[in-house]
Amino acid sequence: MKKFTNILTAFLFAAFFAWNMNAMAQTYFITVVQPNGGESWAVGTSHLISWKDNLTTPVKILLSNGGAYAVIPGATSVTGSTWTWNIPAGHATGTTFKIKVESKIDNTIHDESDAVFSITAHTSGGTIHVVQPDVTGISWAVGTSHLISWTDNLTEPVKIELSTDGGSNYTTLKASATGSTWTWNISSTQTTSTTSKIKISSTTDATIYDVSDNNFSITAHTSGGTINIVQPDISGISWAVGTSHLISWTDNLTEPVKIQLSLNGGSPTTL
């Protein structure tokens, strides 16, 4: 029995030592994704600040205008990997802004925008910002339904238009839409394209509009049903144990879907 106890003690000590060394070797990181330089955001509009990290604790988001950083109001304890910034009326404008995302408990763990971005004045009676589709990698199939979303500070409705040639020509999808979302039921006869863009404009002032920053694809409906993973679907995504993240997809199914996870590039298990 004594020999067994000694062996068990030695095993537990070795396991604890290995765990401790692994914990000490853990390198925490934060990488700012957006804004990362070159963006131009207007006062009175809303934008997504996003980052990657492997933390299990919240972060805080800070802003610099060419000088010292200060925490953005409301961003002192943020979980997940995105945060919507509603840029308030009266906010300072300029061309030398940077965002810093920093661990709430260890300010040595942080990252900032690689280059400066601009905050511009609210130069007209209204502003519009396309939210979706607005990032790279979006692919929507004909015969499926998808949410087009935007932010604005208008009192009048907006017009939603589609371009399938990278923004040279547009056709109207919805002549008058209110609110900030509209469901697009993509016709089975819709032209396919890899250079599609959405334009949203004021119905009373054509000079007030916004266009998708990036092209998205409209693909053929190749089978009786389609599923397209939206997130996570790009390289470099890192989600930490103990945090919450959105798994999202598009489909044209009537039945529920099953979500599975693989930790080794295959052999998935159901979540």
Residues 156/202, Cβ–Cβ less than 8 Å: yes
Supply the pTM of this predicted model. Answer: 0.45
Token readout for 207 is 């000079």
**Tell me: the pLDDT tens digits for 232-271?**
876 667 888 888 787 878 776 656 788 999 888 767 777 7
At a CB cut-off of 8 Å and minimum separation 6, what does 15 contact? none
Is 70 exceeded by the pLDDT of residue 11? no
Most confident region among 32-41, 104-113, 212-221 by mean pLDDT: 104-113
d(CA 101, CA 32): 7
Encode 99-114: b = buried (16+ Cβ within 10 Å), e = exposed: bbbbbeeeeebbbbbe
Phi, psi of 208 (to 5 degrees): -100, 105
**Tell me: the pLDDT tens digits for 105-125?**
999 999 999 999 999 876 556
d(CA 41, CA 254): 39
Q: How far is CA 264 from CA 162, 179, 231, in A?
A: 40, 43, 18
